[in-house]
């Protein structure tokens, strides 16, 4: 009896939106996650990667370094007005309905991102899509069913449909959000920059809503994770989020990052999302805070420990590192919400111990 040949899955084109500066890290995750079914990956512009993928799309929605993922659909049209023509409009509606069907529940709103979004053509397209889909247009212009319209590099136009009702970086475990909370894809990136031994003790100073430690614990569940923050409201938010992520083993400690309630040389890896002096704190505060935190981190760190720190106060951190305890081994500039912070990887400098 002859076996039927398996039909290969169709190959689709996707665009991944990532934090500018994290493209290489995201490409590494894409290769590791998607394997040989991933082809043609390339960076098209800052913060965007294009690739083709020929397997079930469910695996794509588990990516942690990606802000949002879009399926790319090409339209051979000269200008956006042609989206209103019967043939192209019908196809656009079909694509949008197919994406919404994959959400696991009905979409509550839709949105369009495009140049000239308030032009008469785009306003008419919004209105006609709303009628055809039976959905209101989102107040923020995005909504759950979100589409971007771009001019194609080789002619025509592209409709890019977000594959999930919310960005991938908006983690489901983030039940309690707080002002200044760290973007989860940046937190994930921080956890990729230094290794720790099995059964390591990991300490997060200025832990906030615990995003960094949750991202760490999702891939390293055997590590002992300690979150320290001076703000009881932040600790309560972090405790709630860790429980939602099923990472209840993360220990939350009320304490000052400048004098943590922990013994010397207890940490194999440390994280710190330092105040930028913008939304939280001031530059004058940071002038006193940063050197104190670095001294305390040096006290807590074992000889082989690393400290992964995110800050927008780049000159200040570099100046503080000239003191005893640490040396910079790597730094990664990123663009985040209109700011240009850096992720620093610091190693213990035993020759100038604190």
- Mean pLDDT value across residues 178-190: 93
> Above 80 in pLDDT, residue 1?
no
Task: Tell me how far CA of residue 268 lies from CA of 10, 117, 127, 133, 195, in angstroms.
Answer: 46, 50, 56, 53, 9
CA 27 centroid distance within chain: 13
* Number of continuous H segments (helices) and E segments (strands) in the chain: 8, 14
Q: How confident is the model at residue 352 (pLDDT cuts 50, 70, 90)?
A: low
Contact 202, 268 (CB under 8 A): yes
> Above 70 in pLDDT, residue 279?
no
Distance from C-alpha of 171 to C-alpha of 188, rounded to nearest angstrom: 11
Distance from C-alpha of 135 to C-alpha of 97, rounded to nearest angstrom: 11
- Mean pLDDT value across residues 132-158: 94
CA 306 centroid distance within chain: 22
Q: How confident is the model at residue 73 (pLDDT cuts 50, 70, 90)?
A: very high
Contact 212, 250 (CB under 8 A): no
- Mean pLDDT value across residues 306-334: 93
Instruction: Write the DSSP assignment of 37-87 as a string of letters.
Output: GEEEEEEEETTEEEEEE-S-GGGGGG-SS-SEEEEEEEE--SSGGGGGSHH
The owner of tokens 């939602």 is 244
What is the model's pLDDT at position 116? 86
């Amino acid at each position: 009896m002859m076996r039927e040949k398996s039909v290969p899955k169709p190959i689709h084109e996707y665009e991944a939106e990532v934090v500018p500066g994290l493209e290489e890290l995201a490409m590494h995750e894409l290769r590791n996650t998607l394997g040989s079914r991933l082809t043609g990956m390339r960076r098209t512009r800052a913060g965007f990667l294009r690739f083709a993928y020929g397997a079930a799309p469910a695996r794509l929605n588990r990516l942690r370094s990606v802000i949002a993922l879009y399926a790319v659909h090409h339209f051979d049209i000269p200008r956006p007005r042609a989206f209103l023509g019967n043939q192209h409009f019908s196809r656009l509606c079909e694509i949008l309905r197919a994406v919404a069907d994959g959400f696991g529940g009905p979409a509550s709103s839709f949105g369009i991102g495009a140049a000239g979004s308030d032009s008469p053509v785009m306003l008419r397209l919004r209105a006609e899509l709303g009628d055809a889909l039976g959905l209101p247009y989102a107040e923020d212009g995005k909504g759950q069913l979100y589409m971007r319209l771009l001019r194609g590099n080789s002619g025509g136009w592209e409709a890019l449909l977000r594959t999930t009702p919310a960005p991938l970086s908006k983690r489901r475990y983030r039940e309690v959000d707080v002002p200044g909370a760290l973007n989860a894809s940046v937190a994930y990136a921080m956890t990729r920059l230094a290794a720790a031994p099995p059964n390591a003790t990991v300490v997060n100073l200025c832990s906030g809503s615990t995003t960094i430690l949750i991202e760490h614990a999702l891939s390293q569940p055997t590590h002992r994770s300690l979150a320290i923050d001076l703000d009881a409201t932040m600790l309560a938010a972090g405790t709630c989020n860790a429980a939602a992520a099923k990472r209840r083993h993360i220990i939350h400690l009320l304490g000052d990052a400048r004098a943590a309630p922990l013994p010397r040389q207890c940490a194999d890896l440390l994280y710190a999302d330092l105040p930028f002096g913008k939304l939280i704190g001031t530059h004058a505060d940071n002038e006193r805070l940063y050197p104190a935190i670095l001294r305390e981190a040096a006290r807590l760190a074992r000889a082989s420990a690393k400290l992964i720190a995110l800050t927008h106060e780049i000159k200040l951190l570099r100046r503080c590192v000239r003191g005893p305890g640490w040396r910079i081994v790597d730094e990664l500039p990123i663009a985040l919400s209109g700011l240009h912070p850096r992720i620093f990887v610091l190693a213990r400098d035993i020759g100038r111990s604190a």
